[in-house]
Every structure is written in C-alpha cells, then in structure tokens.
Amino acid sequence: MDNADRRPDVRDWVASGQPWIWLTAGTVSMSLIMVVGLLALITLRGMGHFWPAGVVELSLRDGSLMLGEYADHETVTAARVRGLGIEVPAEREFVDRFLLKVGNRDVTGADFRWVNDIDIVATRYPTAAFVAEREEWGNFYGFVDGIREGETQLDEGVDLWAEIDARLARKQDLAARIAAIEDDAMDSVNYALERLRLRERRLELDGVPAGDEAHARIAAERAELDQRYQDLSAELAALHHDIERDVLLVHTVDGEARELPFAKLVRVFRPNGMSWLAKLGHYFDKAGEFVADDPREANTEGGVFPAIFGTVLMVLLMSVFVTPFGVIAAIYLREYAQQGTMTRIIRIAVNNLAGVPSVVYGVFGLGFFVYFLGGSIDRLFFPEALPAPTFGTPGLLWSSVTLALLTVPVVIVATEEGLSRIPRSIREGSLALGATKAETLWRTVLPMATPAMMTGLILAVARAAGEVAPLMMVGVVKLAPSLPLDGNFPFLHLDRKFMHLGFHIYDVGFQSPNVEAARPLVYATALLLVIIIVALNLAAITIRNRLREKYNAAET
C-alpha cells in the first residue's frame, strides 16, 4: 500500500501485486483461525462437559414423552432425513435434529436418541425431574417416588431430598471404607501371597527339598496371610450388606417404576431446580472427580486420574533417562569428538532421527527392549515367574526407555545448539586461568548451557507426553488394574502396564462400545492434555528466554 493516499485504478492495483499479497496474508489468517478455532472447540466442549445441563421433557407427535439432556443439534436437509426412512412433510427442505441423552440404558437399551423437530409437540423443563449418576448402566433420568430402607418404605411426611442426600452421604462413606479394604488391605495381602508363591517356586527351581525350613517359613506366612484375608472378607461382607440397605424408588417419564439401590448411585440431583451457585458447585465437584477419580463404566464416566498419573510418571522416568544421555552425547559431539566429516554425518543422522516416525520407535521398542532385553532379564532374574513374563512384556520401564530414545535427538540438538552459542572467550579465559578442560566444561560452559538443556528437556517432555503410537506397542493399556506406584514393596513397579491420557483419548473415542456417551469425556481429556502440553511448551519458551537474558548479561 505504497500509494495509500490515492485511490488506485483497479488495473494498477492488480499490477502492483497487492491482491497476491493479500492472498498470502489470507493463508496466514486461515492457519490462525484453525489453531484458535481448534483450541476454542476443545476448550468449550471440554469445559462444558461438567456443567449440569437442564433436563428437558419433550412431548412427541405420537403422544409419547421423552426426558433427557440435549447433547447435539444439527440442521440437515430433509432428503437426508428421508434417507433414514423417516417421513418428512413434502414442503420441508430442512430439518432440525436434536440428539437427546435419555439415559436409562437398563430400561430402553440405548441412552441416546435423535429427535426431529417435526416430531416435537411441546418442550418443558420439569423441576421435579432428576438425574442419577450411577456406577453402572449410565445416567438415569426420571422422577423420585420415595425411599425404601430394608423392607420398609419411608413415610410420606419426611423431607425426601434431605433424606436422599443423607443416605447418599452414608453410602459414599461405606463405599470409601469398602474401597479402602479392597484396594489397599486386600490388594497388599494378594500381592504378598503372590510374592510367596514366587519365592516358593524359586526354592523349587533352586532344588531346595520340600521339607526344608524355608518351605515351612513360607507355609507359616501364608497361613497368616490367609487368615488375614478371611478377616478382611468377613468385614467386607458386612459392609456390603450395610451398603445394600437403601433403595431409591423412582419412575421414568413413561411411568415405569424402577428401584435404584443407593449402593450403585454416585450423584442424585435436579438440574432444573438448581440455582446458579449450586450449578457452579456441581461443576467443580464434577471437574474434581474428573481429575482425581478412577474411571467408571468402561472409561466413559468418572475420572482420568490413573491416566494422568501414568502419563506424568512415564514422562518423569523418561526425563531421568533422556537428560544425562542426551547431554553427554551433545558434549561429546561438540567438545570432545574430532570435528570432521564423521561428526557432520553423525550430526545429520541425529537430526534426522527426530523426523523418523514415532511408530518405528515403537516397533523397535517392542522387538528390542520388550522381547529381547526383557526376555533376557526374565530368564536371568525372574525364572520363578515364567512362563508369565515380568519384564518380557510391555510395561512402564520399556515405554519410558522407548520414548527416551525417541526424544534424545531433541535434547542432543538443543544442548549442542546451546554449547555452540557460548563465546570462545569464556572457554579460553577459563583455560588461561589454569583450569583443566573438564573443569572448564563443568564450571563455566555447562552452567551457561543449562537454558538450552532445559529447553531441550522440556520440548522432549512435551513431545513424549503427546506421543501415543509407540506406547500402544510398549506398555499402555486401556485400563490398568493398579497404579505403577503403590504401597507394596518395591513401591515403583516398572514392569506394570499403565494408562496414558493420549491413549485414553484414542481408546475411549474410538474403541469404546458407547462412543456417543464417552465423547464429552474425550473432549475433557483432550483439553487436559492440550493444557499440559501447551503449558510445558510455554514453560520451555519462558525458561529459555529468562535464562538466556541472564547469561547474555553475564557475557557482556
């Protein structure tokens, strides 16, 4: 726009190339729109998931009623709807379709239904309608009739909702105690029993005769553990009996009566009657559950805590492997290796390895680490567990090692970059003062290169946190029975399989039997992963800039 003051002639304007410049500008805008749009989409859908949606009651043309939450809405051409075998009046060109989450999978079989606007006669939001989140069969939508305690039904006069809340709290308390026994006490007894079995097998393999004292000791320990197990089972049975006491009596919108045992209820609420503040409380409660709880219902409900935990632990382990090796390789390449054609080739090779598809690393990890290294470790150190593999199967250790290999080029390249930026004068000054080469490196060069190393590490972590394809081969599972870090010796179980946020997205979004129900959760998981990764990247950039400033100051 050199001639900004004059209105140019169209032909001149075209000749000046301005249209082309605007076109190239448009491509940048499109990229920006895509990135921002994508982030906005994930944020909106991911954050919206926890907000309690209103429960809508639709009266349909055929006289039936539907109760549920709006899950999706689209406008489609009438022809497409007719293509589904649905009658649409001839004058209609477009149809608004609503996806209603009707829940009650145990009653109706499917918890989502499409409704076309032409079928809807009336729409209401009844305040009495309630939603029950359950531990199985998904949500229940309906109306509360009463409560039954044991065999007796509660009187009409009581404050029903106060009672529900109180009984739900009692159930949560009992459930927590059951979980404490099942997940902690019994789990550790089982774990101890399994270790005893392995010890016994080891004795057999070592050829210790059956009457030996070692066998007797094991038998004694086992008897003790068995007794403890019996005690716990009895306690558990009592708790299970207690928790079964209360039943919520409800009916669906069609008037079908149902009994919902409190033992299976997670949350009961009436969204249409909730105040804004109550909704906010509900929101944070749900968000907290998402971050801190275990998944329910084949991963489609509940939280993703094990996946967060697995991702973080795997990435931490990977950092432990990748940092020293990446830094050492970079120091060697830059400071010790003879600079020449060979180092140039190695440098190009290392650089290019960062561009090798991650799935190739997964294949290598499975073949080399899991089957070859893991198999050898099993034969040497864990013969008692064979044929069940200990390290000869995908697990946490091999996942982190594979990802360390995948990301080591990033660290090497970044560290080398940092080392090469350090002015020669600094090295020479140190050497001139009589320091050895090691001292020069350790005391002056490396500290100055830390920003670069940190950047490399953070970028490596960000890349590792988002990788899924190699992990599918070397250790990730859709549902791990126990966390890789727990109270049983040796506490950190490197051989265990683990859950991962990225894989969780893939698995729940594409392998789940009820994709529609899982979708909001997948958005929320995606949001969580994006937040983690973007935060890591921003941290890398910030640290880089801050440390660079610091050392720039030192250099001048």
Q: Could you tell me the CA-to-CA distances from 320 to 118, 194, 402, 407 in Å, in that order?
A: 61, 30, 13, 12
Alpha-carbon distance of 96 to 81, in angstroms, equals: 10
What's the CA gap between 400 and 497, in Å, rounded? 11
Cβ contacts of residue 357 below 8 Å, gap of 6+? 469
Of the candidates 112, 89, 86, the one whose C-alpha atom is nearest the C-alpha of residue 520 is 112
- Taking the least distance from each CB to another protein, the nearer of 270 and 544 is 544
The contacts of residue 429 (CB under 8 Å, 6+ apart) are none
Q: How far is the CB of 223 from another protein (least distance, A)?
A: 31
* Closest to another protein by CB, 60 or 346: 346
Strands 140-149 and 257-261 turn out to be unpaired
Question: Is-contact 82 139, C-beta < 8 A?
Answer: no
**Is the Cβ of residue 52 or residue 326 nearer to another protein in the bound state?**
326
Classified as helix, coil or strand, 97 is strand
Smallest distance, another protein to C-beta of residue 429, A: 11
Instruction: Tell me how far, at minimum, the Cβ of 61 lies from another protein, in Å.
Output: 22
Instruction: Evaluate whether 449 touches 422 at the Cβ level (below 8 Å).
Output: yes
Q: How many angstroms separate the CA atoms of 44 and 92, rounded?
A: 32
Burial grade of 83 (CB within 10 A; 0-12, 13-18, 19 or more) = exposed
CA pair distance 141, 67, nearest whole angstrom: 7
Which residue, 104 or 430, is less far from another protein as judged by CB?
430
Q: Least distance to another protein from the beta carbon of 428, Å?
A: 8
The string of DSSP codes covering 64-95 is -EEEEEEEEEEEEEHHHHHHTT----TT-SEE
Q: What is the edge-to-edge ordering of all strands in the sheet holding 120-124? A: 112-116, 94-101, 65-77, 56-60, 120-124
As given in the structure block, the two tokens for residue 529 are 């992963």
State in angstroms the smallest separation of the CB of 34 from another protein: 6
- Residue 433 is classified by DSSP as T
Considering the complex, state which of residue 41 and residue 291 has its C-beta at the smaller distance from another protein.
41
Distance CA 116, CA 94 (A): 10
What distance in Å separates the CA atoms of residue 328 and residue 453, rounded to the nearest whole number? 11
Question: Which is closer to another protein, CB of 268 or CB of 526?
Answer: 526
| Cβ at position 87, least distance to another protein in Å | 15
Nearer to another protein, 249 or 346 (CB): 346
What residue type is 333 in one-letter code?
L
Question: Given the complex with another protein, which of 54 and 429 has the nearer CB atom?
Answer: 429
Strands, E, within 237-381: which ranges?
246-251, 257-261, 265-269, 295-296, 301-302
Q: Which two tokens stand for residue 487?
A: 């109270």
- The residue count of the chain comes to 556
Smallest separation (angstroms) from another protein to the CB of 260: 31
313 or 330: CB nearest another protein: 330
* Comparison of 467 and 495: residue with beta carbon closer to another protein: 467
CB of 218 to another protein, least distance (A): 24
Least gap, CB of 132 to another protein (angstroms): 27
CB of 436 to another protein, least distance (A): 4
Smaller CB distance to another protein: residue 140 or 503? 503
- CA 55/CA 102 separation, integer angstroms: 9
Instruction: Name the minimum Å distance from CB 202 to another protein.
Output: 18
CA atoms within 13 A on the CB side of 346: 14
Give least dist CB 199 to another protein, A. 22
Question: Nearest approach, Cβ of 159 to another protein (angstroms)?
Answer: 44
Pick between residue 245 and residue 548 the one whose CB is nearest to another protein: 548
Q: What's the min distance (Å) between Cβ of 396 and another protein?
A: 16
Nearer to another protein, 257 or 348 (CB): 348
CB nearer to another protein: give 338 or 556.
Answer: 338
Task: List CB contacts of 307: < 8 A, sequence separation 6 or more.
Answer: 295, 499, 500, 501, 503, 504, 525
H-only helix segments in 422-514:
424-432, 437-439, 446-466, 471-474, 501-506
Token pair listed for 381: 């150190």
